[in-house]
Amino acid sequence: MKNKAFTKENLWRVAAVLFWLLVWQAAAALLRQPLLLSSPLRVLQRLFALLGQSATYRALGYSLSRIALGFLTGFALGALLAVLAARWRPVEYLIRPLMLTVKSVPVASFIILALVFLTSRKLNSFISFLMVLPIVYGNLLEGLKSKSLQLDEMARMYRVPRLRRLVYIELPQLKPYLLSAVSLALGMSWKSGIAAEVIGIPMGSVGERLYQAKVYLDTSELYAWTLAILLISMLFEKGLVALLKGAYARLERL
């Protein structure tokens, strides 16, 4: 039954994607203005043409490495601050205004302000880090606050070693919050990182290629790069979530 439900769900997902592709194709055919709206077939052709160029992989590698650095740094610091805030309440009060500010201020404002202090080549990492930080902090802090106090008291009563408590009690309770944080933060890191590249225009980046496509009114290439960003972001997210789930599965078998 589960396999049938899984197959049916996948079919619905594929059908939804095909439906919107048909809507896109119909809109492009009715408009008849490739400069404004390229058809899906034209965009796919342009994407395959880009994939045949070594410069495309250099640009993707440049952006991926720097956005990944920002994501990992933001994740590590967000997790550390969440642990400190959960343990000491004054730390939470001290950090709260900073996190609210980061979540409230538009990304474009941070990008412009950061350009005063940073070079364009460091901008995407910093902006990705900044956008990831409050997401990870908020999710993990909520997870740490919602832990079962009864399980903690029982572990202390039976003098369970700290490492065993972490592996068998605390990490399993944090699983949904951790997966949610990773999923949300990855999407936000890519959006903000590419936006920073489009504004800062570092040489050899995906943002530079997007900006050039816009300047030269190459709509097909603009859509093709957007599609490439979407696919890389999805693969990055799915891969990291799969790694986390695999790590949890191994913990459960210990």
What global pTM score does this model have?
0.84
Residue type, 32: R
| Residue 239 binned pLDDT confidence (cut-offs 50, 70, 90) | confident
Q: Give me the pLDDT at residue 241, please.
A: 81
Count of beta carbons in the 10 Å neighbourhood of residue 61: 12
Cα→Cα distances 129→69, 109, 132, 192, Å: 8, 15, 5, 9
Q: How do residues 58-92 score in pLDDT, each as one tens digit?
A: 999 999 899 999 999 999 999 999 989 988 888 88
Between 33-42, 95-104, 165-174, 231-240, the lowest mean confidence (pLDDT) is in 165-174
Q: Give me the pLDDT at residue 157, please.
A: 64
Q: How do residues 136-187 score in pLDDT, each as one tens digit?
A: 999 988 888 877 566 666 656 656 666 666 666 677 777 888 888 888 888 8
Judge whether 111 and 123 are in contact, CB under 8 Å.
yes
Q: DSSP readout, 29-59?
A: HHH--TTT---HHHHHHHHHHHHT-HHHHHH
Q: Long-range pairs for 182-187 at CB < 8 Å and ≥24 separation?
A: 182/75, 182/237, 182/240, 182/241, 182/244, 183/237, 183/241, 184/135, 184/139, 185/71, 185/74, 185/75, 185/131, 185/132, 185/135, 185/136, 186/71, 186/233, 186/236, 186/237, 186/240, 187/233, 187/237
Average pLDDT of span 239-249: 80
With a CB cutoff of 8 Å and minimum separation 6, the contacts of 176 are 143
Dihedral sign (CA 155, 156, 161, 163): positive
Q: How do residues 197-219 score in pLDDT, each as one tens digit?
A: 988 888 888 889 998 988 888 88
Q: How do residues 8-62 score in pLDDT, each as one tens digit?
A: 777 888 888 889 889 988 988 888 887 778 888 888 889 899 888 888 899 999 9
Separation between Cα atoms, residue 124 and residue 101, nearest integer Å: 19
Q: Give me the pLDDT at residue 69, please.
A: 93
Q: Give me the pLDDT at residue 174, please.
A: 79
pLDDT of 135 over the 60 cut: yes
pLDDT of 236 over the 90 cut: no
Judge whether 186 and 135 are in contact, CB under 8 Å.
no
Separation between Cα atoms, residue 250 and residue 254, nearest integer Å: 7
Q: Give me the pLDDT at residue 159, please.
A: 65
State the helix-helix crossing angle for 206-215 and 219-253, rounded to 10 degrees.
Answer: 160
Is residue 118 classed as helix, strand or coil in its secondary structure?
coil
Judge whether 189 and 67 are in contact, CB under 8 Å.
yes
Structure token pair of residue 126: 């910093």
State the helix-helix crossing angle for 120-145 and 107-117, rounded to 10 degrees.
Answer: 130
Judge whether 228 and 60 are in contact, CB under 8 Å.
yes
